[in-house]
Chain A
Amino acid sequence: MISVPQVLYITSFLLILIGLYGVLTQRNLIRIVIALNVADSGINLLLVTLGYVDGGRVPIFTPGVQGAHMVDPVPQALVLTSIVIGFGVTALMLTLVMRIFAQRGTIDASRLRGLKW
Chain B
Amino acid sequence: MRKLIGLLLLGAFAFYLVSLMPSVFSPQSRDHLETVGKPIIESAEQVSGSANVVTAIVVQYRGLDTLGEVTVLFVSALGVALLASSLKDRVFRSMFADDDGGFILQTGGRILLPFIVLIGVYIVAHGHLSPGGGFPGGVLIATAIFILLLTGQVSAMPHGLLNLLETLAGLGFIGLGALGFMGDNPSFLTNVLPKGQFMTLFSAGFIPFIYAMVGIKVASELTTVVSSLTEEGDAGTPKENHR
Contacts and interface: CB of A to CB of B under 8 A. Distances in A.
B207 interface: no
Given A5-B25, A25-B6, A73-B54, A61 B44 contact: yes
Contacts, number: 151
B234 interface: no
Contacts of B27: 3-6, 52, 54
Interface string A11-27: 00100010011001100
A67 B37 CA distance: 10
Contacts of B225: 91
B103 interface: no
Contacts of B9: 20, 24
Interface stretch (B14-22, B164-172, B183-191): B14-22
A16 to B, nearest CB: 8
Nearest to B8: A24
A112 interface: no
B13 A20 contact: yes
Contacts of A4: 27
Contact of B68 (A6, A21, A62, A81): A81
Given A17-B13, A61-B44, A102-B89, A54 B30 contact: yes
A9 B2 CA distance: 28
A61 B40 contact: no
A37 interface: no
Interface of A: 3-6, 9-10, 13, 17, 20-21, 24-25, 51-55, 58-63, 67-70, 72-74, 76-78, 80-81, 84-85, 87-89, 91-92, 95-96, 98-99, 102, 117
